[in-house]
A and B are shown apart, each in its own frame.
Chain A
Amino acid sequence: GAVVSQHPSWVICKSGTSVKIECRSLDFQATTMFWYRQFPKQSLMLMATSNEGSKATYEQGVEKDKFLINHASLTLSTLTVTSAHPEDSSFYICSARAPPSGRNGFYNEQFFGPGTRLTVL
């Protein structure tokens, strides 16, 4: 159990276009999902916390108008990189937090998606 998927796994786009990345919890409901960015040979940097039914909470320095997050259901959060530029090229990873009630047997553990590699030309 506790599988998180991401789509697409790999995308190349032209500068100025927008790219949407989906993060899905396949076998559990996730009221909270997290979006990370990872540059080559670096650590995961939290971009924002996505809460189902409410606005995302962005980390300092992350432009909310550029990185649009929508958590419309308990199993889906989307990250849209708007007007992408080459400096937005990175590995984007989402994670989903298991419910604190532990009914799935995973108390507050975060499960990561496989990541999306974005290359902006």
Chain B
Amino acid sequence: GENVEQHPSTLSVQEGDSAVIKCTYSDSASNYFPWYKQELGKRPQLIIDIRSNVGEKKDQRIAVTLNKTAKHFSLHITETQPEDSAVYFCAASIQGAGNMLTFGGGTRLMVKP
């Protein structure tokens, strides 16, 4: 089955700096890659996703890039703010084949004011 690795497990940045979180996946059939933000004790919230037919997607301060050949994708957050502090999870799935999400291990992002 699919295996998703996520790095780093913790990331501390200064407010205003950029943060990058990287994930690799094992199943070349995976074609949908969402990123979730989870605050303590709350539900994961989808922040951005990318499908395998594009290499990059941007939404204001967040962007995701996908390299299908290398089977890795990354989340980029620019101009970080303290409210960006949370745990971020990447995931991979095969659309149209059950849509099960396989999650990475998570990255705890801390933005210091």
Q: Which residues from chain A sit less than 8 Å from chain B, CB to CB?
A: 32, 34, 41-46, 49, 91, 93, 95, 97, 100, 108-110, 112-115, 117
Contact = CB atoms under 8 A, between A and B. Distances in A.
B42 A114 contact: yes
B101 interface: yes
13 contacts: A32-B98, A32-B99, A34-B100, A34-B101, A41-B108, A43-B103, A43-B104, A43-B106, A46-B100, A93-B43, A108-B95, A108-B99, A109-B34
Closest 3 CB pairs of A and B: A112-B43, A43-B103, A114-B43
B80 interface: no
A34 B102 CA distance: 12
Interface secondary structure of B, over-half rule: loop
Contacts of A49: 98, 100
Contacts of A44: 44, 89, 101, 103
Contacts of B89: 43-44
A46 B102 contact: yes
Size range of the chain B interface in the assembly: 20 to 34
Contacts of B113: none
Given A49-B100, A100-B96, A43 B42 contact: no
A108 B103 CA distance: 16
Given A43-B105, A44-B103, A93 B44 contact: yes
Nearest to B44: A112
Nearest to B42: A114
Contacts of B49: 109
